[in-house]
Amino acid sequence: MRLGIDGQKLPEAKKRGPLKSLEHVKELGLGGIFFSTVLDMSETLDKGELADIRAKADELGLYLEAGVGKINPYCSAEATEFRAIGGGDVILGFTRMIEASAAIGCRELWVSPGNFKSEYRGRLANDRFRTDVTWDEQLLGIEKVLLKLAPVARANGVHLNMETHDEITSFEILRLIEKVGEDCMGVVFDTANGLQRAEHPVFAAKRVAPYVRQTHIKDAYVGRATGGLDFQTRPVGRGIVDFATIIPILAKANPDLNLSLEVAASVEDKPRKANPRQCIEINDPIWRAGHPDLTLEELEAYLGLVDGFEKRVAAGEIPNWETYEASQYGYPTYEHQSYGFNEAVTFIKDSARHIEEVCRDSGISLSTPSRKQQAA
């Protein structure tokens, strides 16, 4: 296994560009970079630019991953770049992205089922609860797009890996894999997103592990708050996710899996919107009805996890919402904008250190160079 980072959350990634970002990743002692889409490497899919990025990654001994993008057709109008790269044809755009990625050896490709909009509070912040189209209709649309792209994926030896994103459940992803085919589809396991669907991270990891081909390694504080529960990004190892249990599950299923940190982006890279937390309306009848696969057993385990974490907060072991948000290290509120480059780097290093410790304690080989080696 190797430990790297999601390119969108790497500080100054846009400012530096892909080649300099690879150098930055190496400087941070990380093992690779996961560009969300191949367009983040080259907006025009220029073969020369992409080949140079591949060569640079190889020169530095870094893994290179990429993606195709959001394939929910009801979100296409919000991501015009996918239509543009196909000259107006969305499917052709995705096809070109798959082919360009495969040409530089990126054959595990991220796809996403929708959008999260932090300016809205509660269930309406994500596409699962849109009122103009049902979630079942969106899932059917996603399935149709995947079936159109499946022959392209197979022809290029590619897997289209659906992220356990904010709006989709692991159960729904597994049904999509069954319909489309595991020979061309897999999972990007985000270790924290499932919490927003009341999925216990360990339960979810066990469900999807056989299909996990890419990751977003992320942690969060989930606790009771007005409206239900609140979700707040925390450094890996300082939230509710049990990485000591999850990483071995993933490693057993796929020893060559890359672990890509998805951390809080600095305010320079991603200006904050009004709601830094993400309200989970777990007691709302509409919310509950929208999760028919959620079993009582898993819900009880999930709530037990929340309650156990809150006891640690009450005991002063872990900072509460306000203390964390007001700290120099903390993920800032809309009004508190001090979380910049240095804080983001600290977040990355602390998160990486926890995963390194988990792997060491579990006897898992992690080929990420240590910071001591980097300094030498």
How confident is the model over 181-219, as pLDDT tens digits?
A: 999 999 999 999 999 999 999 999 999 999 999 999 999
Report the alpha-carbon distance of residue 119 to residue 56 in Å, rounded.
38
The per-residue pLDDT for range 222-281, each reduced to its tens digit, is 999 989 999 988 999 999 999 999 999 999 999 999 999 998 887 777 766 555 578 899
Only one residue has tokens 């060569």, namely: 55
pLDDT of 374 > 60? The answer is no
pLDDT of 333 > 90? The answer is no
Report the alpha-carbon distance of residue 31 to residue 71 in Å, rounded.
28
Of 332, 305, 318, nearest in space to 238 by CA: 318
Neighbours of 274 (CB within 10 A): 11
pLDDT of 153 > 60? The answer is yes
Token digits of residue 81: 């770049």
Handedness of CA 318, 324, 330, 332 (dihedral sign): positive
User: What are 230's strand-pairing partners?
Assistant: 223, 279
List of residues 6+ apart from 1 with CB closer than 8 A? 251, 255, 256, 257, 258, 259, 359, 364, 365, 366, 367
The per-residue pLDDT for range 87-121, each reduced to its tens digit, is 999 999 999 999 999 999 999 999 999 988 877 88
The per-residue pLDDT for range 26-54, each reduced to its tens digit, is 999 999 999 999 999 999 999 999 999 99
Question: What does the radius of gyration of the chain's CA atoms come to, in whole angstroms?
Answer: 20
Number of domains present in the structure of the chain: 1
Of 138, 139, 46, 146, nearest in space to 94 by CA: 146
For 18, the domain range is: 2-375
Q: In what order do the strands lie in the sheet with 219-225?
A: 219-225, 228-234, 278-280
- Cα 313 from chain centroid (whole Å): 26
Q: In this structure, what CATH number is given to the domain that contains residue 19?
A: 3.20.20.150
User: What are 2's strand-pairing partners?
Assistant: 258
